[in-house]
Each structure stands twice: as structure tokens, then as C-alpha cells.
Amino acid sequence: MAFGPVLLGAVFVASTVAAMDRSRATERLAVAATAVRTSIDALCQQLRAAADAVALTTDRPGAASQVVNRGLASAVLVTDVTGRVSFATPEAPPAPWRDCAPPVPPTVGVGAASAAGPVGALAVRVELRDAAGAALGTVSAAQPVDPRFVARLAAVTGVAVTLLDGGAAPPQVAHSTESANGRAEVIAAAASLRGERVTGTPDGRYLRRAGPSLGQPLPLVLSVPSDQPPGLHAVLVGVVLLAALVGVAAAWRLARVTTRPLVELAGAVDRVAAGDLTARVPVRSDDEVGRLAAAFNRMAQETGGYLTALASSRDQLRGHLAVLGDTLASTHDLQRILRVILRSALAATGARAGAVLLTEPGGVLVAQCSEGIDGHWPGTGSTPVGSGLLGEVAATGRPCRGRMETADACGEPPCRTYVAVPFTAPEATVRAETGPAGDTAPAGTRSGTATSAETVLGVLALYDRPGGAEFDDDDLATLRTFAGHAAVAVENVRVHEEAQRLSLTDPLTGLWNYRYLRESVRREVERASRFGRTVSVLVLDLDRFKLINDTYGHPAGDTVLAEFARRVRGEIREVDLAFRQGGEEFVVLLPETDARGATIVAERLGAAIRDSPVGVAGHAGKVDTVPMTVSIGIAVFPDHADTGPQVLQAADEALYAAKTGGRDTWRLAAAREASATRELPVLVATRSPQDGLPRAGPDDDPGEPTTGDESPGAGSVRTGRTAPAGGASSGPHPPRHGLGR
């Protein structure tokens, strides 16, 4: 690669030096030609002045001698009109004489000896005329052209001067200041000289013609030696060869110090690309290649560490996802599911703390679980939707991330960085709630048109990463995934609860169905038996309900049943349970209630049904009022039975007694015979006060008996009905949708 530029450089240097040398030689020869022309012109002017001086005198011989003596001319020649020499100074130059004037036909005598051949002298001829102007002859003044003359020209011009023999073919050298070798080169190149063009010779000389021309009749050749350093081409060839040797040596050195490490590096790169992160490159020097090898080794080592950490993180995340999957598949405990999701999100992102909040009715966010958060938040209070950081996320449905140095006024925990992602109800659930065209959903589901804010189920928030780095878009995407799991978990739990409620609820009245009745009676009897408490069961049956269906139709009958269920719900406590056993027959379960309290409730239920007829659609679009009455049978555990089915059976038998006793009344089941091991409670008599509203305890009538413990319910005090510990009966209860006041 280096040899090419060196060779081009050598060629460039050689051509540049040659061009500059030729340019300088051409300039010198041009100056010398000008000097030759000037010198010969001055000599011709001198000879003309000498000839004129001789021609103007009458003593021409004397004048000629003076001209020669003074050195104005070497010889003077006077001729008559016939060309015969009338006077000539001694030692005249040999012929031919070359006239300074433009070429004319050869003259006779000495000057006309021969126009060809070597020039003997340079002469000027002047015409002699008498007073009348008649030609008398000529006067010629001459200067010999000999080696001394040529040497003087060379001294004046500063170049070598050669006078050619114009008559020879090829031209021959007459006189020259060149050396013998130079003369041979001049002779060889003289034939090719044309005009004022400069020609070079093989020995490194530059030649140029200087005449014959107007004012300079001599055939002269000017030459200068080349200024080019001797042996330049040899030096350049040596430089090229040396550069070639240096290039070969450098290539060999590069092959050892660069190519070999690069080959090793390429091999290590291939091994790393194939998955072998243990590949290393030997560091042989401290130069760039050595630093590159060291950087590669560090990169491979760090990449291996990153992959190890990534594999560990992947295994950890896989374990969390497995736990999450098992939890989602094995339980409907929402708190447990949300805690597993939160811990998995913390492990996946490396966050220090986090919390899961769910939206509740009333437009508030309530914390469900948290990890790593110090202080009271989020265990107390709630965050309004639309207020504060998390409230804004829940209101807009848009995730956010950033930096926050202090907690804001709405109770977010102190942190430096945060990321919060909302999770919304799945699209299919929203469509199911709103209907195909946004219509109101059926009873038992959330109604109304779902908006973006209504579909936000909650917010998953994480706080602070190790090192103080902010959460990035990858963390946001990861948190979206876990928020999706949280949304599915919340919806699954809600769907499960709704399905459980629907499976245990009568669709017409909203009361619990017969299936849940059997389970509830069994559970309450077991609890009462364990803690020595009482449980009362009321079996209710609408009187003459078939007549309502036959008279007004089944839709009117459904209206009556729904209104009856509403009034029953309005007369019982939160802990009491109401059931539709089938048709027009209903059951009310009263935990922690004895016979006295049960009869009070029966009185109130009978009055609530009896006192307000129900309006139904009659014939011809009119609204008819339908009176309702109810018959009630009452049984108490353990007074009338020992098991749940037996209590229901005893209450049903009491209902039959109420029916046969004239309807619109209640009956208490018959007491069992006393056993040797059990003391039966004594029934306390009851009566209705003058205002018709049943109540317990003493009043103004001294004949009113004293009652037992008081418990609230139905807007009055009910005798013998004490609420269970904690405000609810034992055992798990499904959500009470419309069962309490």
C-alpha cells in the first residue's frame, strides 16, 4: 500500500524537476538570444558608421587606415562601379563576408567569394556617389567572425555559442565554445532545430537557434547545460526501491504486531457470538490494539456477568409468575392475589416499595396492600379520585412516572422516584355491563354507561429504585403487565362473587334462594349449639296468592312478590337473612333471637304487609290496589328442634297451623316434651299495644310483662334478640345485596 504513493511521488518529483529545469533553460536561452541579437546589431551599427566615415571623405585610404587603427573595423574594402577593388586595408578577413543588411546577391571580389561555406566576416556595405548622385562604387567595413568573436558572444550571453557552416549539408560547426562532446550533440540536433523552439539533448543540454534573421545574419546555436541535479533519476529509483523495502518490512511488522492480534480478536468475537463468553484475547502490547483487546476482555466479562444476573432475574421472575399463576388458579382471596402481584412487580423492577389501591363507590381510592412503605400510609384514610398523584392516574387512566422529592398533600408516601399504572376492567366486561348499545345492564350488575373513569379498577404504584435511578419505559411496560394481572384478578374475584351471589339469590325478589337457606340454617344452628345461643326461623306464606295470579295475571303476581320481599327486608336487621323458599313461601332466619323476639318480628311483618295494599296493573290500563296478608310459622332452636332441617320442619308445621287458624296471623311451633337432661325455656306471653305496633319491655300498662334483653331492629326494640359478637352471625356470609336496611 505504501509503495504506490512512493512511486507516484517519485514520478511527480522527476516530472516537476524536469519541467522546472526546462523552464529555466528556456528562459536563459531567450535572454541569450536577445543579447546575441543586440550585440550583433551594435556591431553592425559600428561597421556602418565606419563605412560612412570612409565614404564621406576624399582621402578614403587615409580614412580607412584610421578606422582600422581605431578598431572600428578590422578591414575596409573600396570598390569601383565595376566591382574592382580600388583600395583594401591589409590583413582583410577571409571570404565570404556576411552583410548585416537583408540578404542580397553575392558581390564580386573578396566579399563575393562564396555565399556558402563558413562565414569569414560580418560586413556593412555603403554606396559611393558623386555630387550628381552617380554611382562611383562601394565602401565595405568588416569584422572577422572567428573563434574570438564567438567567444565574445558567449561571454556576453552567458551561454555556449556555436556558429554553423551554413553551406554544409548536414550543417557543420564552424566555431563553437562547446566542448568536443557538446559540438557533436549540437551537430546532431542542429537539423531538428526550427525557429526559436528549445530542444533537449541526450546529455542534458538545451539548444536554440539564434538567426539568421533580420539584423542578425549569422547562423548561431545557443546552448545551456541542464541544472537538474546529476543522478536525480537514479536517486529517485533508489528512493522507490528503498520505499518498497521499507513497505515490505512494515507489512511484516504489522503482520506480527497488528494482524495477528486482530485475527485473535476476530476469533474471540466469533466464539462470543456463538455463545462462549469465556473467550479472551491475549494483551501483547500497550498500543491501540492492546487496549482494544483489553476492552474486549472486559466487555466479555461484563456481558457474562450481565447474562448471569439476567438468568437469575429470569428464574426469580419465573418463580414469581409461577406463584402468581398458582395463586390466581387456586384462590379468590383478593388481598392475597394483590399482594402476590405487588411482590412480583417489586422483584421484576427492583423497586423499594409499592402499593395497590382499588377504586371504591363514592370515587375514592382505598389501599389494599403495600410493601416497604413506612409510616401510616396507606393503612389509613383514602385518596379521592382526581386528587393527588394516584388520584389523577385513576381519574385520567394514564400512567405516569418521574421524580418527586416530598410527599404531596394527598398522602402519597415520601419518595424520590415513582411509577404508577392504572388497571382497568377488561373490554368484554365493560361491554357486558353496558349492553350492546350502551343500555342499562340487567339487575344484579352495575348499570349505566361505562366511562373511562368507571372502568379504572385501581392503581399499581412503585417507589424508588436502588441508586436513585428513575423508572424508564421498560419498567412502565413491565408494570403494565402486572397491572393487567391485577385487573384480571379483581374482575375474576368480582365475577366469582357475583356468580356466587346469583347462584344463591332469587332473581325476582333479590332474596337468598332455597339452596342458601339450607346452608345458612345449618351454619347458624351449629354456631348456636356451640355457643349456647338461640336461632329463630320464620316461615311466611302470602295468603290467597293464587287468586292474585288468576285475577290480575302473573306479572301482577311478580310485582306483589317483589314488593313483599322489599317490605320483609325493611323489617329485619343486617344480620338477619331472608330467603324465598319457592312460589309465595318465604323464610326469615333470626340469629341470636329467642321465641319472644321472633313473635315481635312476626307481628311487625304481618302489620307491614297488611297495612299497605300493593298497586298492580289492572284491566284497561288502570292501576288496582291488591290487599296482602301473610301467615307465619315460628320455630326456635333449641326449643323446638335439634337440627336445622328439624327447625325448618317445625316452622313449616306452625305455618300450617296459622293457615288453618284463619290466615293473617302467626303461630309458634309446639314445645317439645322436657327431657331428663335438658331444661326448656319458658315462653313469655306477648300482646300488641294499643297503637298496634309491637314492642318489647314495660310500658304504662302494669299488665305488660317484663321482657328479656333488648336488641335494635326494624326501627324499634325487639325482645330477646341480641346481635352476635362483631355485629354478624358466625361463618362466612355472601355479600348482602339489598338484605339490610
Q: Would the CA dihedral through 562, 566, 567, 569 be positive or negative?
A: positive
For residues 460 and 702, which has the higher predicted lDDT (pLDDT)? 460
What stretches of 177-219 adopt beta strand conformation (E)?
199-200, 205-210
Q: Is the pLDDT of residue 629 over 90?
A: yes
Residues of the chain with CATH 1.10.8.500: 232-308
pLDDT digits (tens, 9 = 90+) for 403-430: 876 544 455 677 788 888 998 876 544 4
Residue 471 has pLDDT above 70, yes or no: yes
According to CATH, the superfamily of the domain at 331-500 is: GAF domain (3.30.450.40)
Q: Average pLDDT of 9-27?
A: 78
- Do residues 585 and 540 make contact, with C-beta atoms less than 8 angstroms apart? yes
**What are 304's three cell numbers?**
457474562
Q: What's the Cα-to-Cα distance from 601 to each of 354, 520, 610, 645, 695, rounded to whole Å?
A: 50, 19, 14, 22, 9
| Torsion over CA: 214, 217, 220, 222 (sign) | negative
- In the chain, residues under CATH classification 3.30.450.40 are 331-500
Q: Which of 111-115, 116-120, 658-662, 664-668 has the lowest mean pLDDT?
A: 111-115
Which ranges in the chain are annotated with CATH 3.30.70.270?
A: 505-727
Q: How confident is the model at residue 698 (pLDDT cuts 50, 70, 90)?
A: very low
pLDDT tens profile 585-621? 999 999 999 999 999 999 999 999 998 888 888 766 6
Looking at residue 172, its pLDDT comes to 77
Task: Please state the rounded mean pLDDT for residues 157-170.
Answer: 75
Q: What is the pLDDT of residues 338-397, one digit of tens each?
A: 888 888 888 888 888 888 888 888 788 888 888 887 655 544 457 788 887 888 888 888
- From edge to edge, which strands make up the β-sheet containing 160-165? 172-176, 160-165, 220-225, 205-210, 199-200
CATH of domain 232-308: 1.10.8.500
Beta bridge partners, 462, equal 354, 419
For residue 27, pLDDT over 50 is answered with: yes
What is the identity of the amino acid at 113?
A: A
Helices 147-157 and 3-55 sit at what angle, rounded to 10 degrees? Answer: 120
> Alpha-carbon distance 330 to 337, whole Å?
10
Using CA atoms, how far apart are residues 630 and 109, in angstroms rounded to an integer?
Answer: 183
Average pLDDT, the chain: 76
CA distance 172 to 117: 9
CB 93 within 8 A of CB 75: yes
Among the ranges given (194-203, 542-551, 684-693), the one the predictor scored with the smallest mean pLDDT: 684-693
pTM over 0.85: no
The CATH class given to the 505-727 domain equals alpha beta
User: What is the pLDDT confidence band of residue 704, given thresholds at 50, 70 and 90?
Assistant: very low
Q: How far apart are CA 273 and CA 268, in angstroms?
A: 9
Residue 741: what pLDDT?
25
